[in-house]
Amino acid sequence: MKTESWLQCIVPSCGKKYSVKEQRTTCDCGELLDVRYKGAFPESLKETFSERLNHRQNIFNESGVWRYRELINFAGVDTEKPSDYSKKLVSLDGAEGRTKPFHLTRVAEYVGITTDNFWLQFEGDNPTGSFKDNGMATAFTHARMVGAKKVVCASTGNTSSSAAAFAANELDMEAVILVGAGKIAKGKLAQSLAYGAKVLQVKGDFDVAMAMVTALSKQSEIYVVNSLNSFRLEGQKTMMFRVLDYLRWEVPDWIVFPGGNLGNTSAFGKAFMELYAYGWIRKKPRMAVVVAEGAPTLSDLYNELELRWNRGNIDNSIIDEYYGEVDRKGIKAKTRASAIEILKPVNLKKALRTLEFTDGVVTTVPDSDIMDAMAMVSKNGFGCEPASAATVAGTKKLVEQGIIGADETVVGISTGHILKDTAAIVDYHFDPQNRFANTPITVEPDVKEILKLVNV
């Protein structure tokens, strides 16, 4: 099956189209772009996707991204012909996107929803430990389509780890990453160094590094793999395909996840917009985007200043004024959930579109709730990094507020692995003041004393 695809400005009053063979992140008018498709998307594909779970040693069936290749076919491959698609699609040997939702009894109880109605999908179970691998598979496929050799990103640590790994595995590509000096968790920095990326520690935070990358993107030799790249978001849609596939295409009432640069907010919304347009689903889930109190842009704009997508007629003056004040006052994002320590999310407008389409909500959570929620996920035998726990903290808050009904179905997305930011976890547990602290006990090498401590 083949599909026609193109890039198109997200703002309907512009709507300018470009070829997918172009390497561009924005429209000539300055707005973001979407990958758009024309083709037949028969509902029988649901059956095909399911059959591919028996992958028969085909890595593009094993991949939780390329299993859905018909729905993200900007590379124009023949989706039934391995000799065609295996040359064009980039994969970490089928390892990316092999995730699914799980029931977590203790976490469900913590957030106030019955176990049967609550799932968490652990995208930290991707090969580089975060959801980014979903998007890098498609971003690198496009990079290869346009002959790029040097991929660049700004990062709070996970995008960079993923880009570095994909570049390493592609053999002929180099990853250059810009991170805020001292701003990313050690596990993530370690990955980028180990995978062999060129690591530039920018004096500043993520927003500063992102501004550098946006400026660099004008150079044709530089291929940007931040979520500004519309092709990356195509891969991130597959997280939602896997949720639905697992739930037998029954749409949950809510999807809850953390917001940072708002790539997921954009990608998840687009996934549902498309499936709705294809007639595969008849209900829209409501999206709940959870941001840290110390990085509140989306909440400030959406909840306080009532900024809306408004069918593409956004009041830009609200955004300009908000960022103007941020710059004038020198305000910086600040949260222990370093992955989402972002004040100027590049996908803001696409995120607003998602919120409109899904009747979504935005909520903020303090670091203390994020850290307690992170500890709770681990008390359930699973685990995640701080930013991911915003999902659980946010769900709990929305249930307490009665926005999420206790009898509604909720799928939360956990975005990064427990071992990404071990310092945050150790610090939490070493402080006995914390609600779920499991503080270690220092003992003399004395058998009697140890027996006493273990109550034997």
Q: Which residues bind ligand F0G (CB under 6 A)?
A: 130, 155-159, 227, 258-265, 339-340, 385, 387-388, 415-416
- Measured from the CB atom, the residue of 154 and 404 that comes closer to ligand F0G is 154
Q: Which residue, 381, 314, 393, 327, is CA-closest to 353? A: 314
* Smallest distance, ligand F0G to C-beta of residue 106, A: 21
| Dist CA 173 CA 221 (whole Å) | 12
- Measured from the CB atom, the residue of 63 and 156 that comes closer to ligand F0G is 156
- Measured from the CB atom, the residue of 190 and 443 that comes closer to ligand F0G is 190
- Measured from the CB atom, the residue of 229 and 415 that comes closer to ligand F0G is 415
- Measured from the CB atom, the residue of 287 and 376 that comes closer to ligand F0G is 287
* Smallest distance, ligand F0G to C-beta of residue 253, A: 21
First to last CA, the chain: 66
Q: Which residue, 46, 45, 16, is CA-closest to 33? A: 16
Contact 178, 154 (CB under 8 A): yes
Q: 254-258 and 222-224 as β-strands: parallel, antiparallel, unpaired? A: unpaired
Q: 361-365 and 174-180 as β-strands: parallel, antiparallel, unpaired? A: unpaired
Question: Where are any strands of DSSP class E within 204-277?
Answer: 222-224, 254-258
* Smallest distance, ligand F0G to C-beta of residue 198, A: 16
* Smallest distance, ligand F0G to C-beta of residue 288, A: 13
| Dist CA 125 CA 415 (whole Å) | 9
- Measured from the CB atom, the residue of 61 and 235 that comes closer to ligand F0G is 235
> Which pair of structure tokens corresponds to residue 327?
């710059």
| Dist CA 95 CA 203 (whole Å) | 34
* Smallest distance, ligand F0G to C-beta of residue 124, A: 8
* Smallest distance, ligand F0G to C-beta of residue 219, A: 20
Backbone φ/ψ region at 77: left (φ over 0), alpha (ψ -120 to 50), beta = beta
